[in-house]
Chains A and B, each alone.
Chain A
């Protein structure tokens, strides 16, 4: 393994949350660390760094991606959207509102990944069943809620109905 800081760095140019970014990075830095450490976008969380928990889920060229399983250099030229960008653009505002109203989060560590994943589901399946919601978030771990409230919140966002707590 090459050892930094002696290792060569690679320049990456990408669009993050609509802004052009250029950074010189270590080839071994994964995208999640890049977003957090280079750009200060700490809404993307690192839970397992082996692609299982889903806390680091972001959009890369519109697809949901585990940013811990992708190197920053692989994102060269890509368009990346994180929870911060999706929040500021209002794209996930309805989901955020239903998550808040339904208490579909406790510690909040899984929440950014959960919101990005849920938004992706609602783009392809605007009116999902509870089972479809459960299936869609089945690779996003939540240790606090037991998922019930998250399913309620996604259903409320999709169907515009108030769910009973």
Chain B
């Protein structure tokens, strides 16, 4: 056997990927159980309508139908739930039930559930149901919702779920004394995660011991266990949630869906396993949507480009309900927290309003709130530079929070620890010649092509700490745990609470544990995604795997190493501190001499305890946990640079170059880290240019298939350049920081700035995402065709 080399820092491929490349993945839809009933939902064809009556006799009598359940039938078996986050005082959220009762509030809301021998029969039966609908006016725009044209939920009094202000400094004085004030209204369309594997669940209820076993395509098995038990009135230790291979999640599979809870209830009602797999059309109509903001924003500057003040008013339009159990408010609160966060800003005021309308709930999608905050702040900064005739890069350098200045309390009151905004901007510009680009831009202009350069700094709230959900009232934990087992073979099994939907969290945990103990990476197996087999913890959300998940693993691994050395010391009559674990042997720490095979220690610990001194009790497994206890979030930062080309005749934006510099702290696995960032970037590019769920003013869905809803394809995306600043997080042993949000956080803002840099050549600009060809052409039409001089924003 070769010498053990540290696993951390190496681009080790993911062990789990081996089965995925062989067609041997185990996704929820691949798992079968005998006597399974297949569930389909009749979904509301109206955005808003009263259900006067439901006739289901014909459906019930169809051969192969097992159960037809209305909302009222389902409601007999669970409590209602409301997505309130108690940290946000005054937040209002309506009660929800799994399946609509009496009224449907969005097009796609489940209204009747049918369980049948096959999904095809269940769908046939849907056609036989007759509903007497009474359509009501639908709220399809944020403005219509806030105006209260219709009050969606009487008990709330209006459609405003939250209205809050964050402020610091003297905002009036900041704007009154400004040399230049820029203002704009930004609109961000609705999009969604489009996980390639649709939402899927297989629930089995055993009435003999009132136990529920759920296989679910989800990020958070422990949370789902708690939620199903609570809402269905089951004992939590008799509920098990297994999240096997998950085909993309991105925050989409992080909360509770009514149709998934209904499937568990149907398993109970029918006493048969119940399966529900969303098809693509119902995915668009019922998956969590994301974003949909209208942000009015103003930024005030001194003549030298220093930012004096920032005001934003974010109208955040969620759907008919607030998502449960985490609520939908996080997106808006992150906009308030993060707009302008890379900069020192003396005066700030952010108003955020969350309003209800007749659309599916908006939940958490990758980089919750970050892309909005980044686009607003970075666009205003560029507009300020343009207005002042200053270099937008120099303006960023002037205003950036200084590196190494210790914990920095932002203008929004967040403690941002160990930022490296200056270093990441320098890093992203390494090897990028702005002057050469300006020359190229001028030459392209001669040919009628508009080139643009955009830069966007961002701060990320990753690795959520205890206070944020601790205050929420929801069964959501920021703690991660890891159980490390020293097996009879001398090899290691880890049971992690952090979960892995392809990010590579399992691999990072394996690397961390291998190094903590001193064994080979190949001798470590990581098990995750099972609320029974793994300790309770958060799962996957807000980039916590490499920070909190790995920290728990390191602590468990070190404790296991200490116990292994204690046992070896008793066996060899040596001091534990004079030995090390090195691969498959224990060595003398100073001479390196091989003392005993690791397997022998394991054998004695598991099978031959009589050989140990009297009174010795070997501990063959160790559990450790970690939670960032007093910080709401572990923070980090990065910057993205984008180069685009626009054909002003066609309005289409081509991405020519995209570069990211990110502070990921200590890099555990460079390859997996880079791929996290690249994937995140491309989802952000989708939001920037392609992805939009379109609704009419009456809230009727216009994009129900992948023919209408565009996602980035291989031919539309350039290679994504990724570079790093390794500024270790001071709060953990390894010092790794979250990276899952980074790509999505800043990509759209960089593209928006690049597009506006290009359009500035002809005096045009856009402020609505996605930047579709129609919107570019409309912006060009708005300006006179006289050739205007470029201000040359980035000098």
Binding site for B on A (CB under 8 A): 1, 3-6, 26, 28-29, 36, 41-50, 52-53, 55, 82-84, 87, 96, 99-103, 105-112, 115, 130, 133-135, 137-151, 165
Contact = CB atoms under 8 A, between A and B. Distances in A.
Given A50-B706, A138-B714, A107 B719 contact: no
B682 A146 contact: yes
A105 B21 contact: yes
6 contacts: A47-B196, A53-B196, A84-B24, A109-B195, A109-B197, A146-B681
Nearest to A47: B196
B642 to A, nearest CB: 14
Interface string B731-772: 000000000000100000000000000000000000000000
Nearest to B686: A143
A143 B195 contact: yes
B23 A44 contact: yes
Interface of B: 11, 13-14, 17-18, 20-25, 27, 29-30, 62-64, 117-118, 120-121, 124, 127, 193-198, 245-250, 279-280, 501-504, 670-672, 674-675, 678-683, 705-707, 711-715, 717, 719-720, 743
Contact of A103 (B13, B127, B683, B713): B13
B280 A49 contact: yes
Nearest to B197: A109
Nearest to A29: B120
A109 B121 contact: no
Given A50-B707, A87-B23, A165-B670, A106 B682 contact: no
B706 A28 contact: no
B18 A43 contact: no
A3 B714 contact: no
B13 A101 contact: yes
A53 B706 contact: yes
B280 A43 contact: no
Contacts of B743: 146
Contacts of B18: 100
Given A42-B27, A53-B196, A111-B20, 13 more contacts: A5-B64, A45-B196, A52-B705, A87-B21, A106-B679, A107-B20, A107-B248, A137-B714, A146-B678, A146-B720, A147-B717, A148-B678, A150-B714
A130 to B, nearest CB: 8
Given A50-B707, A165-B11, A109 B124 contact: no
Nearest to A42: B30
Contacts of B249: 107
B288 to A, nearest CB: 15
B149 to A, nearest CB: 35
Contact of B250 (A55, A138, A143): A143
A4 B121 contact: yes
A149 B248 CA distance: 17
A117 B139 CA distance: 44
B23 A143 contact: no
B23 A84 contact: yes
Which of B707, B714, B719 is most buried by chain A, counting CB atoms within 10 A of its CB? B714
B246 A107 contact: yes
Nearest to A85: B23
Contacts of B11: 103, 165
Contacts, number: 191
B502 A105 contact: yes
A32 to B, nearest CB: 11
A27 to B, nearest CB: 11
A7 to B, nearest CB: 9
A41 B23 contact: yes
A50 B705 contact: yes
Contacts of B713: 138-139, 141, 147
Contacts of A99: 17, 21
Contacts of A43: 22-25
A134 B714 CA distance: 5
A105 B682 contact: no
B25 A138 contact: no
A90 to B, nearest CB: 11
Given A134-B715, A142-B196, A83 B706 contact: no
Contacts of A165: 11, 670-671, 674-675
B770 to A, nearest CB: 16
Which of A41, A43, A107, A150 is most buried by chain B, counting CB atoms within 10 A of its CB? A107
Contact of A96 (B21, B683, B714): B21
A145 B196 CA distance: 12
A108 B30 CA distance: 13
Nearest to A149: B675
A29 B118 CA distance: 11
Contacts of A110: 196
Contact of A108 (B13, B63, B247, B683): B247
- A-B pairs, 7 with minimum CB distance: A43-B23, A108-B20, A106-B502, A109-B247, A146-B682, A83-B23, A165-B671
B714 A111 contact: no
B705 A96 contact: no
Given A107-B246, A146-B678, A47 B13 contact: no
A50 B280 CA distance: 9
Contact of B121 (A5, A45, A111, A148): A5
Contact of A45 (B22, B62, B197, B683): B197
A108 B674 contact: no
A103 B504 contact: yes
Contacts of A47: 196-198, 280
B675 A103 contact: yes
Contact of A107 (B30, B195, B279): B195
Given A146-B720, A147-B717, A105 B22 contact: no
Given A6-B63, A46-B29, A107 B23 contact: no
A131 B203 CA distance: 45
Contact of A82 (B23, B712, B715): B23
Contact of A4 (B23, B118, B247): B118
